Amino acid sequence: MAALVRALRAGHGAGRALRVLPRVLAPHCDQKCMFHGAVLRLQDESKCDKAASATASATHHVHHDFQQAPPEDAVSEQTSDEGHRPSSSFQEQSGEQDEEYETEEQLQARILIAALQFVPVHGWSMEAIAAGAESLGLSSASTGMFTGAGDLVLHFIAHCNSQLIQILAEQQKQVQLGQAEPKKTADFLKDAVETRLRMYAPYIDTWPQAMSLLLLPQNIPEGLKLLSSLVDDIWYYAGDRSTDMNWYTKRAALTGIYNTTELVMVQDSSPDFQETWDFLHNRIQDVVNMASTAKQVQSTGEAVVQGLVGAAVTLKNLTGINQRR
Amino acid sequence: MQQATHAGLAAFAPLTIRQFLKLTVPPLVVSSRCHSVIPPPRDSDEKEMLDRMLRVDHAGEYGANRIYAGQMSVLRRSQSGPLIQEMWNQEKKHLERFNEILAENRVRPTALLPLWNIAGFVLGASTALLGKEGAMACTVAVEESITEHYNSQIRALMEKDPERYTELLQVIKEFRDDEMEHHDTGLEHDAETIPGYWLLKTAIQLGCKVAISVSQRI
């Protein structure tokens, strides 16, 4: 909480791109949100408490981290626990005790977030990551930490997923408090997918490149995992509590809808992607119709079977078979 | 206590006098686990372990349900019909409980459910065609497998942290006791008199072992 307050106060002072990150910690928030919280706190400490000297020392410290690969993890893992405690490491004006240790993952997260602003210029590539690192005052050689531009895409997707979860959790809370009406499933799915895809709007020109990066063999497992957890979360918040094959069919249907809508979006040139949302609406209607048709088929089948059994019994009665008892 | 919580949540709903009076009484310390059987997992390893256990338990109860359904389809009008129906009802309750737990904890059910559906029904129906003793032998074999499986789960949880998993242990113990009762009932009703009892029992138990190990992951 203290981190939030300080971040908010600092936010007024410095308008950096990082401030657009949502900072409300949601129950389903994953580790990345914690990193962002810690990242922002570290950012604030370096900015608010001590000006250039701290940044320089942080940079120096971070560089120091790079040069010492083996012991770094042990040290930074240990101190990352300290880093997560909100205000206990808040040093006032006594300068030198920089408790700005951060783990490698936190640093990677910071660089990747900063790299996003360079994506429209450099595309989803190592150049964007290098530019991001430089914008944080780090050497562009820090791209060595990343195996490829796929890392940037995957991190962005994970970030969008956690944002969506926050929004859905907030909506659920509103419904529980009685402040909002619960939506019908089809509408809920449509809104959830639309909200999620709109997060791609600023990067839509370069998104085909991102999608092709996701198809590289080394990125496929992680990409699939993110997609399946996204679809699972959307259905969970839509109220799905099934424990039979419906669990699988629902998620498969939504995965199909999401993927095809994403593809339509990247080649959509209509204002505000109106064609995409129409397409989405139609696909969801298709699935809903298919589900109701399946139910109708099933009940028709049951009625037909009952009719046949009735006819068989009648026949048995007529021919007198039933009386031989 | 529950109403106080509800009133707190629905802050905009008008409070009746009764609710208001309940509110003024200081609330007892409500255990954070009073409704859920599973504690919130601390890390992904624990979540995976719990997921596997619940998935296979759910699959087991589902299969047992289908076995009894198969047996009933053949022996419905025989003398042992009511007995099998009673055991089936208990299994239905177990399955319902596991459905609740899975839904609450967002556990993926096993993808092999259609397979267990058919296999269970066929097993129940085919052993029932051997007569009442066949059905009882099948019951004995299956319940013995399930009891052993629950026992190993109880052991695993007790080894890890009995305090943390008290509710889950309670549920599993209760179900294990029910299954043991079914097993004893089967023995009482001449399960062992069927010719080839040992062969049948071993074959069924082998199938159960395979089903249990496969349902944990798939």
- pLDDT tens sequence across A46-72: 554 444 444 444 444 444 444 444 444
Nearest C-alpha of chain A: how many angstroms from B115? 11
Q: Which residue of B has its CA nearest to A251?
A: B108
Nearest C-alpha of chain B: how many angstroms from A177? 5
Helix axes A31-44, A69-84, angle to 10 degrees: 90
Instruction: Write the residue in B9, B108, B114 that is nearest to A177 by C-beta.
Output: B9
Flag whether pLDDT at A90 surpasses 80. Answer: no
Q: What is the structure's pLDDT at A323?
A: 66
Flag whether pLDDT at A312 surpasses 60. Answer: yes
| CB-CB neighbors (< 8 A) of A236 in chain B | 106
Q: Kindly determine whether residue A245 and residue B9, on different chains, have CB atoms separated by under 8 Å.
A: no
User: Is A236's Cβ below 8 Å from some Cβ in B?
Assistant: yes
What is the spatial distance between Cα A302 and Cα A240, in angstroms, rounded to a whole number? 26
Q: What is the structure's pLDDT at A24?
A: 43
User: Is A245's Cβ below 8 Å from some Cβ in B?
Assistant: yes
pLDDT digits (tens, 9 = 90+) for A212-271: 999 999 999 999 999 999 999 999 999 999 999 999 999 999 999 999 999 999 999 999
Burial class (CB in 10 A: 0-12, 13-18, 19+), A213: buried
Q: Kindly determine whether residue B103 and residue A242, on different chains, have CB atoms separated by under 8 Å.
A: yes
| CB-CB neighbors (< 8 A) of B106 in chain A | 232, 236
User: Is A241's Cβ below 8 Å from some Cβ in B?
Assistant: yes
pLDDT-derived band at A325, boundaries 50, 70, 90: low
Q: Kindly determine whether residue A243 and residue B9, on different chains, have CB atoms separated by under 8 Å.
A: no
Provide the whole-model pTM: 0.71
| CB-CB neighbors (< 8 A) of A245 in chain B | 113-114
Q: Kindly determine whether residue B12 and residue A179, on different chains, have CB atoms separated by under 8 Å.
A: yes
At B179, which amino acid appears?
E
Q: Which residue of B has its CA nearest to A233?
A: B106
Q: Kindly determine whether residue B114 and residue A245, on different chains, have CB atoms separated by under 8 Å.
A: yes
Nearest C-alpha of chain A: how many angstroms from B184? 30
Q: Which residue of A has its CA nearest to B54?
A: A243
Who contacts B92 (Cβ-Cβ below 8 Å, separation ≥6)? B65
Sole residue written with tokens 């040290």: A75
Q: Largest alpha-carbon pair distance within chain A?
A: 105
Output phi, psi for A2, to 5 deg.
-60, -35
Q: Kindly determine whether residue B58 and residue A176, on different chains, have CB atoms separated by under 8 Å.
A: no
Flag whether pLDDT at A44 surpasses 60. Answer: no
Q: What is the structure's pLDDT at B3?
A: 53
Flag whether pLDDT at A276 surpasses 80. Answer: yes
Averaged over A127-154, what is the pLDDT? 91
Q: Kindly determine whether residue A177 and residue B113, on different chains, have CB atoms separated by under 8 Å.
A: no
Flag whether pLDDT at A156 surpasses 70. Answer: yes
Output phi, psi for B53, to 5 deg.
-60, -45
User: Is A248's Cβ below 8 Å from some Cβ in B?
Assistant: yes
pLDDT-derived band at A155, boundaries 50, 70, 90: very high
Instruction: Write the residue in B9, B11, B109 that is nearest to A243 by C-beta.
Output: B109
User: Which three-class secondary structure state does DSSP give residue A152?
Assistant: helix
Q: What is the count of residue pairs from A and B with beta carbons less than 8 Å apart? A: 26
Q: What is the structure's pLDDT at B38?
A: 84
Q: What is the structure's pLDDT at B62?
A: 95
Distances from the Cα of A2 to the Cα of A82, A84, A87, angstroms: 15, 12, 7
| CB-CB neighbors (< 8 A) of B44 in chain A | none
Q: Kindly determine whether residue A177 and residue B11, on different chains, have CB atoms separated by under 8 Å.
A: yes
Q: Kindly determine whether residue A241 and residue B103, on different chains, have CB atoms separated by under 8 Å.
A: yes
Pull the structure tokens for residue A305: 């079977």
Q: Kindly determine whether residue B99 and residue A178, on different chains, have CB atoms separated by under 8 Å.
A: no
User: Is A177's Cβ below 8 Å from some Cβ in B?
Assistant: yes
| CB-CB neighbors (< 8 A) of A176 in chain B | 9
Q: What is the structure's pLDDT at B84?
A: 92
At A181, which amino acid appears?
E
What is the mean pLDDT, run by run of 10 residues, along chain B of 218 residues? 50 53 48 65 88 94 94 90 92 93 92 93 93 92 94 93 90 94 91 89 94 89
Interface of B with A (CB under 8 A): 9-13, 58, 98-99, 102-103, 106, 108-109, 111, 113-114
What is the spatial distance between Cα A83 and Cα A256, in angstroms, rounded to a whole number? 41
Taking the CA atoms of A277, A278, A279 and A285 in sequence, report the sign of the dihedral they define: positive
Nearest C-alpha of chain A: how many angstroms from B152? 24
Averaged over A165-169, what is the pLDDT? 96
Helix (H) or strand (E) holding B165: none
Instruction: Write the residue in A176, A241, A244 that is nearest to B9 by C-beta.
Output: A176
pLDDT digits (tens, 9 = 90+) for A102-123: 788 888 899 999 999 999 999 9
Distances from the Cα of A156 to the Cα of A52, A107, A115, angstroms: 30, 15, 10
Q: Are B41 and B47 spatial neighbours (Cβ–Cβ below 8 Å)?
A: yes
User: Is A246's Cβ below 8 Å from some Cβ in B?
Assistant: no
Q: Are A35 and A18 spatial neighbours (Cβ–Cβ below 8 Å)?
A: no
> Residue A79: which of A59, A114, A103, A95 has the closest Cα?
A103
Instruction: Write the residue in B10, B102, B109 that is nearest to A178 by C-beta.
Output: B10
| CB-CB neighbors (< 8 A) of A242 in chain B | 103
Who contacts B164 (Cβ-Cβ below 8 Å, separation ≥6)? B39
Q: What is the structure's pLDDT at B20?
A: 54
| CB-CB neighbors (< 8 A) of A178 in chain B | 10, 12-13
What is the spatial distance between Cα A104 and Cα A76, in angstroms, rounded to a whole number? 8
Q: Are B125 and B191 spatial neighbours (Cβ–Cβ below 8 Å)?
A: no
pLDDT-derived band at A324, boundaries 50, 70, 90: low
